[in-house]
Structure 1
């Protein structure tokens, strides 16, 4: 990494994240209120969806989003598939990325950055190889290099390779480019979902489906992710 990128990463990136996220929260406060009210009316409470995600150095934090799915369950009390619970309104929030707005508070707190590898599920993290997990050596971002180069319409391998490419060349110029490209993508509503799927496929499910791991390995790593999450909750 060049010295300019190093100075930006160490001394400028965090203050810039704080200032820009604070300004965005203030300017977009009417949007926050309107979306929150619509979520309450159409999907009920809670308005904010909270989920544990791995952050810097794989430290697990709580990420905030606007809720996009109902809590519909079957006769056994199990949640129905995502495709059933994802409403038309929820799809609208996702296609416009309005569901991501509460992550600005994660940025303000310091859990996230404006630009960085997207925070994946803890379940996804355990399926990554050692090199891929290096993506957690920087703070996760509201948007990232992979998001402006295909988002959910590229393979997991491509996505993770783009994350590694980003962390090896962090610079002010690249972050500004990613932010500008993100704005264009949001207005065009591009690459929101994987072709043929309502929601993005988990890494473990992808590896199992493509026969890159067997069922025993899959079950073992899923159990590992559950143990990691149970430590957070206890």
Structure 2
């Protein structure tokens, strides 16, 4: 179902994808895509694709932190979740699902507790329980608890509810970034 849905979405949304790609090209430049290794199901690494929303790191221009690198247009991309459109390719390839725990950084793999690592028992998703319950504004412990809760109780009806709630979450644009951060706070076991 994911592959069929992703194929249909890529076809239906191709005009929006093209317009977004052109807007990224004009406002931020090349490359259009942000491609980064992320752990998927069973911790296998794949390459996540998103539209770029940040400038490259450039200390001479003062573009070092996420706050300095995130462009005004990038904020719009993130708040509308249009930056996620290229992730449909990851769903089509089978790297991701529409619903599941968001794929985080590879460097976090060694920091999970045994319970938190259960998030890798399923394919990561474009959206999930954490995204409809505060997105990036929820703390790490709550995010992982929501991820594990999804893994333990996943079923088609839950996925359908999450997808519907995602539309609402995108429209109200809450929780786009953690308080005091341009994106989200880095995960660490340190207090």
Spell out the pairing of 1:15-164 with structure 2 (5 A cutoff).
Answer: 16-75=1-60, 80-164=64-148
What is the aligned partner in structure 2 of residue 195 from structure 1?
179
What is the aligned partner in structure 2 of residue 9 from structure 1?
none
Comparing 49-58 with 64-73, greater Cα deviation is found at 64-73
**C-alpha displacement at 1:78, in angstroms?**
9.4
Is the 8 Å Cα contact of residues 117 and 140 (structure 1) preserved in structure 2? yes
Runs of 4+ in 1 over 2 A off after TM superposition: none
**C-alpha displacement at 1:196, in angstroms?**
1.8
Distance 2:135 2:73 in 1: 21
Distance 1:189 1:155 in 2: 18
**C-alpha displacement at 1:192, in angstroms?**
0.8
What is the aligned partner in structure 2 of residue 174 from structure 1?
158
Q: Aligned to 2:59, what secondary structure does the other structure show? A: coil
**C-alpha displacement at 1:189, in angstroms?**
0.8
Q: Aligned to 1:33, what secondary structure does the other structure show? A: helix
Q: Aligned to 2:50, what secondary structure does the other structure show? A: strand
**C-alpha displacement at 1:123, in angstroms?**
1.6
Give the TM-score taking structure 2 as reference length. Answer: 0.96
Is the 8 Å Cα contact of residues 95 and 192 (structure 1) preserved in structure 2? yes
Is the 8 Å Cα contact of residues 50 and 85 (structure 2) preserved in structure 1? yes
Indicate the RMSD between aligned Cα atoms, in angstroms: 1.4
Deviations 1:51-90 (A, max 9, x none): 0000010000000000000114114x99611110101000
**C-alpha displacement at 1:124, in angstroms?**
2.1
Deviations 1:174-212 (A, max 9, x none): 0000000000111111111111211101212xx33x2xx
Is the 8 Å Cα contact of residues 124 and 202 (structure 1) preserved in structure 2? no
Q: Aligned to 1:65, what secondary structure does the other structure show? A: strand
